[in-house]
Amino acid sequence: MSDNIKSIYVGVDVGASRTKVVVLNPDKVMIGHAIRKSGTDFQQTADICLLSALEMAGSSEDNIKSVISTGYGRKNVSFSNGTKTEIGCHAKGAFHYFPMAITVLDIGGQDNKVIRLDDHGRRLNFKMNRKCAAGTGAFLEEMSLRLDIPLEDMDALARGSTSTVELGSFCTVFSATEVLEKIRQGKKVPDIVKGLFLSVIKRVLEMEILSGKVVMTGGVVAHNPYLVQMVRDISGMDVSTPEYPQLAGAVGAALFAMED
């Protein structure tokens, strides 16, 4: 067993929708990770994800030097050595991959975050949307049910759009009614889906003026990468994502664990 595997650091991001676990070696390289629906037992889900991530890393719990948890259910992780805020962990994870002045756009299952960092990774300001599902993964999940299409098919459908159907409402309830009306009018499903994506983007972009390089993270981005291209086209800015956008918060937590 290599020295890197003998010393590992773990980050756990327990979101309302998904739980993510990341294992880093001392060189800050991700050697194991796992993602699972959070469900109703956050502790059990975190335990399962940890075992899966350790198996991928080829290591064991005995080699863990420190664990930091973050996210909605961060206090439900019994094997954690401490907790950090979602904002701090997402910022740290994004800056790890893009060490420069960046604006982080995190689109999650239940909330959105916009975090501005300077070229040293110091947080300049942040905004967070927790009060409304519009512009989040929950919004797209609800719309996929209304359209009777699998959630995983939405990205490909949006890419196939030839004429975007713009929606006037940001509210999930009102948008659902509006979508039904668009269907009644004979609008094509790909065009409606692209309109839904546009609604998500508008909701996020209205939170903060973008500056510097833009880094998009979160599960919604991971499963719908066309959103990245749309933000790039709409803003005209340099927009990138980490290799695993959904794991940014867990990576940041693991980096905090390494510092501790």
> Do residues 88 and 82 lie in contact, with contact meaning Cβ atoms separated by under 8 Å?
no
| 169 pLDDT more than 70 | no
Query: Which H or E run includes 8?
Result: strand 8-14
Q: How far is it, in rounded angstroms, from Cα 176 to Cα 144?
A: 10
Taking CA atoms, 256 is separated from 68, 165, 196, in Å, by 7, 43, 36
Domains contained in the chain, CATH given: 3-88+247-259 (3.30.420.40), 101-241 (3.30.420.40)
pLDDT tens-place string over residues 39-91 = 999 999 999 999 999 999 999 999 999 999 999 999 999 999 999 999 999 99
pLDDT tens-digit readout, 242-252: 999 999 999 99
pLDDT (average), residues 161-169: 81
Q: Which of 61-75, 119-133, 159-173, 177-191 has the lowest mean pLDDT?
A: 159-173
Cα distance between the two ends of the chain: 24
**Look-up: residue for tokens 């796992």?**
34
Model pTM greater than 0.95?
no
pLDDT at 56: 97
